[in-house]
Copies of this chain bind each other. A is one copy, B any other.
């Protein structure tokens, strides 16, 4: 299995769980937040989706320009949005070359350090897992108790 395929599988083992959680969130709860200083459910999900896609584009392009992009999407709901951005993220991950995974990218402006492409993908994974951990609480507080494991096997 190539390194690109390994990253793709690793990404999907967590993103598939994110998608399962998102599918449980009803429109009337998009503005829900657990405390006054928390992100709303919609903001949290949107932040997770666009952040990982941006990190993947950063690795692809070798620069931070993706963090200035606005993504125009026409999604009917959060699940649609999640599926659309996941598809684009998968395509970007699938296209990554060994050179792109190995190149050094200057993230001083957002993370205070320089990292290789593959290290940027690990930061992206950690970011997804971190916010997914929070999203589990949101979804449980919205009344759902039949929840998946934090990572999907195989």
Which residues of A are interface residues toward B (Cβ below 8 A)? 14, 34-35, 37-38, 111-113, 123, 125-127, 129-138, 140-141, 145, 150-151, 153-154
Main secondary structure of the interface of A (DSSP, over half): helix
Q: What 5 A-B pairs have minimum CB-CB distances, sorted nearest first?
A: A133-B133, A130-B133, A137-B137, A130-B150, A133-B134
* Cα(A37)–Cα(B112), bound, Å: 39
Copies per complex? 2
Smallest CB separation, A81 vs chain B (Å): 21
**Of B35, B141, B150, which contacts A127 at CB under 8 A?**
B150
**Of B35, B38, B113, B131, which contacts A133 at CB under 8 A?**
B131
* Cα(A60)–Cα(B148), bound, Å: 30
Smallest CB separation, A141 vs chain B (Å): 6
Smallest CB separation, A73 vs chain B (Å): 25
* Cα(A139)–Cα(B104), bound, Å: 36
When distances are taken between beta carbons in the complex, the residues of chain B under 8 Å from A14 are 126
Q: Is the CB of A112 within 8 A of B34?
A: no
